[in-house]
Every structure is written in structure tokens, then in C-alpha cells.
Amino acid sequence: SAEIESQGSKARVYGEMLHVDIPFPIPEPDGCKSGIQCPIQEGRSYSYLNKLPVKSEYPSIKLIVKWELVDDQDQMLFCWKIPVEITS
């Protein structure tokens, strides 16, 4: 459940390679348009759903995808990292 209150939320996605975060564009960075009912209220639970398209021009590579969702004050709501292998 949420530990803060916020009028909105924004997703930021990075590919972590050699300890460097490279921004990945996502079609819908607005968390309020990705299943979260805004405003976010403390103590309520929310579901979030989004997509990260893998384009054909991406090279074959192993990396860590870091996905963050921040509130309207740029404070972290959640963050996860997952190992990914892109094959072309």
C-alpha cells in the first residue's frame, strides 16, 4: 500500500550497462494512465501495468532493466531491477 500521498506519478525506465543508466523511452510514462487511480492516497493499494517495447533495431545484449515510479515530488514510489537478454 502507498506510504505517501501524491497528485500523480511518472515512470522512468533505464537499461543498466556497465553501471551506467541509459534511459529507455516508454509509450506511457504517466502512472495515472497505467492503472493507478490518482490522486494517490496513503494506505491504499494500487495496481500498475505498463509495457516496454523491444524494437528490432536494439542490439543483442544482456542488461539490467531498472524501472522506477516516482511521485509528483520526484520521490520514489517503487523501483525494481530485472536481468534481461535482448536477442535479434
Q: 29: domain CATH number?
A: 2.60.40.770
In a domain, 2, yes or no: no
The model's pTM is 0.84
Q: What is the pLDDT of residue 84?
A: 94
In a domain, 1, yes or no: no
**In residues, how long is the chain?**
88
In a domain, 46, yes or no: yes
Which residue shows C-alpha cell 524494437?
A: 55
Residue 67: give the domain boundaries.
Answer: 9-86
The strand pairing partners of 15, in sequence order, are: 22, 65
pLDDT in tens, 17-76: 888 999 998 999 999 999 999 999 999 999 999 998 888 888 899 999 999 999 999 999
Which residue shows C-alpha cell 506510504?
A: 3
The letter for the amino acid at 12 is R
Domain count within the chain: 1
